[in-house]
Chain A
């Protein structure tokens, strides 16, 4: 049986927005904190902020690819460490023929959550270390969801044979 090709695209603008929004809301919830510290927590498009977030997204994507390497086929033999804000992330998976395609949404949303939480944890490690741990846990839980989805299979169907 032929393998199933599954392509998942994660839009960089959505990943960046989600990191920025999470850090923004977290900062805003700290009503009694020093405004300079709150501002420091809130990732935005300033150069030093966006570059760090892109680096973290790149690292999270690398980890994700590593975990899914069994199902990823890439012919390229070169790599680089450049991650750009206008460059979307595409993952091409080669899944077994009995892969349950109903899990594609779980996988794509899990990938998004994993990358966002890993990048947010990275960001808070630098700017507000006490807030990093919950995002590490969320990233781990998201990775489990992705792997669960990857391992979903459809039941075999019996084809009646007429003798």
Chain B
């Protein structure tokens, strides 16, 4: 078996969420001048994002549960803890291709970003929520296809 540990840094996810929502807010501002204030996340919105982060952690854990040997706790609290990263250790088949590790981590990171944005948009930008929900699903499917990927078997020619 091959052990793979993936760490998704919450701070980086929030930064990516802020970038995307700021960009979308500015674009939408052409048609609706209040769009930027509504869509772009600020530090004041972090407490709300915490709940969305926790929901994403639970979704990821649920999808990966058959392979998990350890997963970091994500305590539900009213405070903001930017250091509480999502860390998951997976026990994968001996035929798993370790060259997929970076791509796997990238997909999982993007899943968190899309997941948090999708949940945020359900409040702040309803018409954009479905696209991000689809993207989050697609990214998690990609994670699953990688963790279950098997390298082709190798033939060892017998010595006669």
Q: Write the residues of chain A forming the contact surface with B, with a CB cutoff of 8 angstroms.
A: 11, 13-14, 17, 20-21, 24, 27, 35-36, 38-39, 42, 44-46, 88
In the complex, which of the residues B94, B95, B148, B153 contacts A36, with contact meaning CB atoms closer than 8 Å? B148
Determine the chain A residues whose CB is within 8 A of the CB of B1 once the complex forms. 46
A35 engages B144 (CB within 8 Å): yes
Distance in angstroms between the alpha carbons of A45 and B1 in the assembled complex: 9
Q: Do A44 and B94 touch across chains, with their CB atoms under 8 A apart?
A: yes
Contacts of A11 in B (CB 8 A): 158
Give Cα A42 to B153, complex, Å: 9
Shortest Cβ gap from A123 to chain B (Å): 13
Residue from B94, B150, B156 in contact with A24 in the complex, judged by beta carbons closer than 8 Å: B150
| B149 partner residues in chain A, CB cutoff 8 A | 35, 39
Contact of B145 with A35 in the complex, beta carbons under 8 Å: yes
A36 to B1, CA, bound (A): 16
B155 contacts across to A, CB distance below 8 A = 13-14, 17, 21
Contacts A39-B93, A45-B95; is A17 near B150 (CB within 8 Å)? no
Chain A positions within 8 Å of B153 at CB level:
17, 20-21, 24, 44
Within 8 Å of chain A (Cβ to Cβ): is B43? no
Q: How far is the CB of A119 from chain B (nearest CB, A)?
A: 14
A-B contacts, CB under 8 A, total: 45
Neighbouring A residues of B95 by C-beta, 8 Å: 42, 44-46
Contact A45:B150 (CB < 8 A) given known A17-B156, A35-B145, A36-B144: no
How far does the Cβ of A26 sit from chain B's closest Cβ, in whole Å?
A: 12
Contacts of B156 in A (CB 8 A): 13, 17
Which residues of B are in contact with A by a Cβ distance under 8 Å? Answer: 1, 66, 93-95, 144-145, 147-150, 152-156, 158
A-B complex: 4 closest residue pairs judged by Cβ atoms: A20-B153, A35-B148, A39-B148, A11-B158
Q: For residue A14, which residues in chain B have a CB less than 8 angstroms away from its CB?
A: 155, 158
> In the complex, what residue of chain B is closest to A10 when comparing beta carbons?
B158
Q: List 24 A-B contacts (CB under 8 A).
A: A11-B158, A13-B155, A13-B156, A13-B158, A14-B155, A17-B154, A20-B153, A21-B152, A21-B153, A24-B153, A35-B145, A35-B149, A36-B66, A36-B144, A36-B148, A38-B148, A39-B93, A42-B95, A42-B150, A44-B153, A45-B95, A46-B1, A46-B93, A88-B158
Enumerate chain A residues within 8 angstroms of B158, measured Cβ to Cβ: 11, 13-14, 88
Given contacts A11-B158, A17-B156, A20-B153, 19 further A-B contacts (CB under 8 A): A13-B158, A14-B158, A17-B153, A21-B153, A24-B153, A35-B148, A35-B149, A36-B66, A38-B148, A39-B93, A39-B149, A39-B150, A42-B95, A44-B93, A44-B94, A44-B95, A44-B150, A44-B153, A45-B94
